[in-house]
């Protein structure tokens, strides 16, 4: 996306709203819907990666030290990671932005 | 080459002459012979096309969207319940600006079940963003299918087109039809060059979603496209007329210049109205006809030009208003008369539902009735103008 959606005039849209630039959905940040965010307790985390596997939005990534965290630009706070985490290392907390 | 042929078979032969590359269709009466014959000629190797057999019309049009998005010249055909099963996909084809051509053998909608002809199916699909052309006879069906591709694929247009032919009244009759040669059609209709197409080497996104910040602009752009297709449609019809010697216009008239009372209708019923007009001529009654070949985009200024001096305009609808004030075609004409300040008496007759025959005598009776119908509901300040609610012809009571 070359500019924010609300700045496009109708004449600037491609025929059929085709998007020629691939992977541009990354630029559209959807994390703003969130009310809760996941927080990892690394003392309990065993780096199994189930949170990463179950995240429906592919918003969880592995840090260099092997522990996991969420990309808050895309995490919607659904809590599936916390629900699936069997060592109970993830807690959903109020996201105060 | 002129030959006697069933119109459905001729429609498939027209698709073959247009060298369609992909077809996905599901058989439904009265369109069945069109897809059966296409399936035959593809299987026999006479037409080099992909024929996708599907389990429903919803899938048929979905598959057509895929083949068209991949850059193939795509054809399909349906009727009645099939068209309504396609309904949500109709908007996707036009929104994605894919130049699919679809022949619709117009038929009544259930319930009660009827396989016979009227325009309930197409009127329920009239605002789907497709260009809509109506045919009066088999020759028009063949010519219109060929030229529909030229309109649809023009880069100034890039919209799907429906070619309407009345079920049974046209689809199942044998008519003498003049076929253009393959060379002539090839010269008129070169290979389809898509503006965008899906290909692994050139990735792009089709069918992304639009947030509230963008949806209005997207739909506005699409609406401008169908409005701006009108000059291209005229250009293509005129080019076709020049090359093939059969004259086509978005609107056609019969004895309309000389009469202050005109019928306005679409499809094969126009031939009966013309017969009625000839009979009335012998009875010294002057009546004309305005035939709408193009319904979407609605050619309002051109139509206003033809209707501006008329005293009585009789709009023939072939579908029930479904609780509306009048039939769907009448509502357009009524809005047009208001916009262009045409002070004609407007009458709306709903005729020929579910295959009920409408004879030339019926139109003569309508004409006689219009001449004597009581003036009511005249809007303030326009005393001479009347607009009745619709009347259904031939109901036993």
Euclidean distance between CA atoms B374 and B363, whole angstroms? 18
Residue contact B213–A5, C-beta within 8 A: yes
pLDDT confidence bin for B385, thresholds 50/70/90: low
Listing from the earlier edge strand, what are the strands of the sheet with B261-265? Answer: B251-254, B288-292, B261-265, B312-317, B345-350, B391-392
Condensed to tens digits (0 to 9), the pLDDT of residues B62-81 reads 999 999 999 999 999 999 99
Residue closest to B152 by CA, chosen among B330, B144, B213, B11: B144
Condensed to tens digits (0 to 9), the pLDDT of residues B326-376 reads 999 999 999 999 999 998 989 999 999 999 999 999 999 999 999 887 655
pLDDT confidence bin for A27, thresholds 50/70/90: confident
Give A18's contacts in chain B (Cβ within 8 Å).
Answer: 196, 204-206
CB B206 within 8 A of CB B196: yes
Nearest-by-Cβ selection for B211 from A5, A13, A14: A5
**B108 and B167, same structural domain?**
yes
**B256 and B178, same structural domain?**
no
Give B213's contacts in chain A (Cβ within 8 Å).
Answer: 4-6
Find the residue in B nearest to A16 (Cα).
B96
| Residue B317, both tokens | 């609808």
**B270 and B240, same structural domain?**
no
pLDDT confidence bin for B381, thresholds 50/70/90: low
Q: Which residue has the tokens 């895929």?
A: B66
Residue contact A10–B213, C-beta within 8 A: no
Find the residue in B nearest to A10 (Cα).
B217
CB B246 within 8 A of CB B143: yes
**Taking all residues of chain B, what is their mean pLDDT, rounded to a whole number?**
95
Chain B positions with Cβ closer than 8 Å to A = 95-98, 158, 195-196, 203-206, 208, 210-211, 213-214, 217-218, 220-221, 224-225
Tell me how many residue pairs between chain A and chain B have CB atoms under 8 A apart.
52
CB B73 within 8 A of CB B20: yes
Nearest-by-Cβ selection for B204 from A9, A10, A18: A18
Of B214, B244, B274, which closes a domain? B244
**B143 and B262, same structural domain?**
no
| Residue B96, both tokens | 């994605």
Q: Give the up-direction half-sphere exposure of residue B50: CA atoms within 13 A in the CB hemisphere.
A: 15
CATH number of residue B163's parent domain? 3.40.50.970
Whether the pLDDT of residue B388 is over 80: the answer is no
**B231 and B287, same structural domain?**
no
pLDDT confidence bin for A29, thresholds 50/70/90: confident
Contacts of B341 (CB under 8 A, 6+ apart): none
Strand B174-178 relative to strand B2-6: parallel, antiparallel, unpaired?
Answer: antiparallel
- Gyration radius (Cα) of chain B, Å: 21
B397 in any annotated domain: no
B166 alpha-carbon distance from chain centroid: 10
**B153 and B115, same structural domain?**
yes
CB B114 within 8 A of CB B108: yes
Backbone angles phi, psi at B210, to 5 degrees: -120, 130
B65 in any annotated domain: yes
pLDDT confidence bin for A96, thresholds 50/70/90: confident
Number of domains in chain B: 2
Evaluate the omega torsion of the peptide bond into residue B297 and state whether it is cis, within 30 degrees of 0: yes
Residue contact A10–B217, C-beta within 8 A: yes
Give A9's contacts in chain B (Cβ within 8 Å).
Answer: 217
* H helix intervals, chain B: 7-17, 32-43, 57-69, 80-85, 87-95, 120-124, 138-153, 182-188, 215-227, 229-244, 269-282, 300-307, 328-339, 360-372
Whether the pLDDT of residue B226 is over 80: the answer is yes
**B279 and B147, same structural domain?**
no
Q: Which of B5-19, B316-330, B370-384 has the lowest mean pLDDT?
A: B370-384
Euclidean distance between CA atoms B169 and A12, whole angstroms? 46
Strand B22-25 relative to strand B74-78: parallel, antiparallel, unpaired?
Answer: parallel
Residue contact B224–A10, C-beta within 8 A: yes
Residue boundaries of the structural domains of chain A: 29-94
- Provide the whole-model pTM: 0.93
Residue contact A16–B210, C-beta within 8 A: no
Euclidean distance between CA atoms B171 and B137, whole angstroms? 9
Q: Which domain holds residue B233?
A: 2-244
Evaluate the omega torsion of the peptide bond into residue B190 and state whether it is cis, within 30 degrees of 0: no
**B217 and B87, same structural domain?**
yes
CATH topology of domain A29-94: Alpha-Beta Plaits (3.30.70)
CATH number of residue B329's parent domain? 3.40.50.920
């Amino acid at each position: 996306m070359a500019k924010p959606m609300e700045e496009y005039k109708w004449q600037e849209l491609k025929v059929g709203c085709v998007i020629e630039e691939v992977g541009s959905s990354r630029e559209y940040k959807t994390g703003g819907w969130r009310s809760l965010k996941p927080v990892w307790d690394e003392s309990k985390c065993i780096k199994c990666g189930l949170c990463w596997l179950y995240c429906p939005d592919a918003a969880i990534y592995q840090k260099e030290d092997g522990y996991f965290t969420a990309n808050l630009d895309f995490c919607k706070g659904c809590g599936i990671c916390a629900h699936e985490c069997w060592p109970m290392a993830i807690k959903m907390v109020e996201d105060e932005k | 080459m002129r030959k006697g042929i069933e119109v459905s078979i001729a429609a498939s032969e027209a698709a073959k002459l247009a060298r369609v590359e992909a077809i996905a269709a599901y058989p439904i009466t009265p369109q069945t012979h069109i897809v059966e014959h296409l399936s035959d000629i593809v299987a026999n190797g006479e037409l080099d096309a992909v024929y996708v057999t599907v389990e429903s019309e919803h899938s048929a049009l979905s598959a057509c969207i895929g083949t068209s998005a991949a850059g193939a010249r795509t054809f399909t055909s349906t009727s009645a319940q099939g068209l309504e099963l396609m309904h949500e996909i109709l908007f996707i084809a036009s929104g994605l600006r894919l130049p699919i051509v679809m022949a619709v053998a117009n038929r009544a909608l259930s319930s009660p079940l009827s396989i016979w002809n009227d325009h309930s199916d197409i009127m329920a699909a009239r605002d789907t963003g497709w260009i809509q052309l109506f045919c009066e006879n088999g020759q028009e069906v063949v010519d219109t299918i060929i030229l529909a591709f030229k309109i649809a694929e023009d880069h100034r247009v890039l919209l799907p087109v429906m070619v309407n032919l009345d079920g049974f009244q046209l689809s199942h009759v044998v008519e003498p039809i003049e076929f253009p040669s393959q060379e002539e059609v090839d010269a008129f209709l070169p290979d389809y060059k898509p503006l965008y197409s899906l290909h692994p080497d050139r990735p792009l996104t089709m069918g992304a979603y639009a947030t509230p910040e963008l949806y209005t602009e997207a739909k506005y752009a699409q609406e401008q496209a169908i409005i701006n297709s009108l000059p291209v449609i005229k250009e293509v019809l005129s080019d076709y007329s020049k090359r093939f010697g059969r004259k086509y216009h978005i609107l056609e008239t019969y004895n309309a210049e000389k009469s202050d009372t005109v019928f306005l209708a679409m499809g094969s019923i126009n031939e009966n109205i013309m017969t009625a007009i000839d009979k009335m001529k012998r009875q010294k009654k002057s009546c004309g006809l305005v035939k709408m070949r193009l319904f979407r985009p609605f050619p309002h200024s051109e139509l206003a030009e033809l209707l501006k001096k008329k005293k009585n305009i009789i709009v023939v609808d072939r579908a029930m208003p479904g609780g509306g004030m009048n039939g769907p075609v009448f509502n357009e004409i009524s809005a047009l008369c208001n916009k262009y300040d045409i002070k004609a008496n407007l009458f709306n007759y709903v005729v020929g539902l579910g295959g009920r025959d409408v004879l030339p005598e019926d139109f003569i009776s309508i004409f006689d009735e219009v001449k004597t119908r009581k003036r009511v509901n005249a809007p303030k300040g326009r005393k001479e103008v009347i607009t009745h609610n619709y009347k259904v012809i031939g109901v036993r009571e």
